[in-house]
Amino acid sequence: MTQTDEPFDGRRWHDMGGQPAGPVPDDQHDFSIWEKRIDALMVISSTKGYFTVDGLRRVLEDMGPDAFDTMTYYERWMASINQNLIEAGVYSTAELAQKMSEVASRGNTYGDAAGG
């Protein structure tokens, strides 16, 4: 389908409906445990009232097209959930930094980190 001849000044990058597109990849893959956890984190965050799927989408859109090209689907979700949780005051950037440091100190493998 070709784009209409009317220009859409101000159309944002993620608003792709009607734009030229390549083939649709239909390959599937099993989700990793961390991807399932990110999905669960979104459900928990929404259930607890920290933010909604609309907040998730808003940050995904604000990341811009570079993130769409360089990050995987759940990597983008992880970044958006984190941004929304900080905005909601669930934790601070400093608390996040401390926690990341603690987890990293447990070891490099999933098993080491989970067993800490």
Partner 1 sequence: MPPVGKRHYMRVRADMPPGHVRTPAYLRGKTGWVERVLGPFPNPEQLAYGHQGENLSLMRVRFTMGDIWGAAAENPQDTLDAEIYSHWLEPAEPPHAT
Residues forming contacts to partner 1 in the complex (CB under 8 A) are 1-6, 8-12, 15, 17-18, 51-52, 54-55, 57-58, 61, 84, 87-88
CB-based burial of residue 84 (10 Å sphere; 0-12 exposed, 13-18 middle, 19+ buried)? buried
State the minimum distance, in angstroms, from the CB of residue 71 to partner 1.
19
State the minimum distance, in angstroms, from the CB of residue 17 to partner 1.
4
Which is nearer to partner 1, 3 or 32 (by Cβ)?
A: 3
Which is nearer to partner 1, 18 or 111 (by Cβ)?
A: 18
- Residue 90 CA to residue 63 CA, distance in Å, equals 21
Extract long-range pairs of 47-54: CB within 8 Å, 24+ residues apart: 50/84, 50/85, 50/88, 50/90, 51/84, 51/85, 51/87, 51/88
Which is nearer to partner 1, 57 or 106 (by Cβ)?
A: 57
